[in-house]
Amino acid sequence: MSMTGRACALACAVGLAACAQPPAAPPDTRAADGAALRAVVKEWSALAEAKDAPKFASFYAEDAVLMMEDAPDIHGKAALAEGVGAMMEDPNFALSFAADDVVVARSGDLAYETGSYTMTMSGPDGTPATETGHYVCVWEKQADGTWKAVVDAPVSDPPAAAGE
């Protein structure tokens, strides 16, 4: 083999050795995604506390659904903005929540979050009625990299646990 051939064979061997690795798995972004999502949830709760309905509603995906007990599901961002806006107009409205578990898919496109909330609304007699509960929220990463809620399902605790 000529020197040229030898050099080529060496280059080829080195190149193909690198190539022989199995296809690299996509980078694992779960820890970063989870941290980003927890920050989103904190920001979302702060918007609820600030009663900023338009910004609050902007955290829902276009085709999101809010499932509330004893009420029809609210589908779609426009209806959600209207529904959230109406709730926040209640003078006794107050809402805060915090994430408990956050689990992100290996592919970083889907996640779910469980957490706890405390919500106050006017009761039938107009006085503030507070309930606590848990929720599950499913999130999808959008094309621009932001996380948006696609399913939001709050589930109330027993009345005795509301801790009023």
Residues near a copy of itself (CB under 8 A): 1-2, 4-5, 8-9, 11-12, 15-16, 18-19, 23-26, 65, 67-73, 103-107, 109-112, 114, 134-136, 138, 140, 150-151, 153, 155-159, 161
Between residues 28 and 49, which has the closer beta carbon with respect to a copy of itself? 28
DSSP state of 10: H
Minimum Å gap between C-beta 123 and a copy of itself is 16
Q: What 3-state class would DSSP assign to 158? A: coil
Q: What 3-state class would DSSP assign to 130? A: strand
- Of 60, 44, 32, 62, nearest in space to 115 by CA: 44
Minimum Å gap between C-beta 92 and a copy of itself is 21
Per DSSP bridges, beta strands 110-122 and 94-104 are antiparallel
Minimum Å gap between C-beta 131 and a copy of itself is 10
Minimum Å gap between C-beta 52 and a copy of itself is 25
Between residues 10 and 50, which has the closer beta carbon with respect to a copy of itself? 10
b/e map 7-34, b = 16+ CB within 10 Å? eeeeeeeeeeeeeeeeeeeeeeebeebb
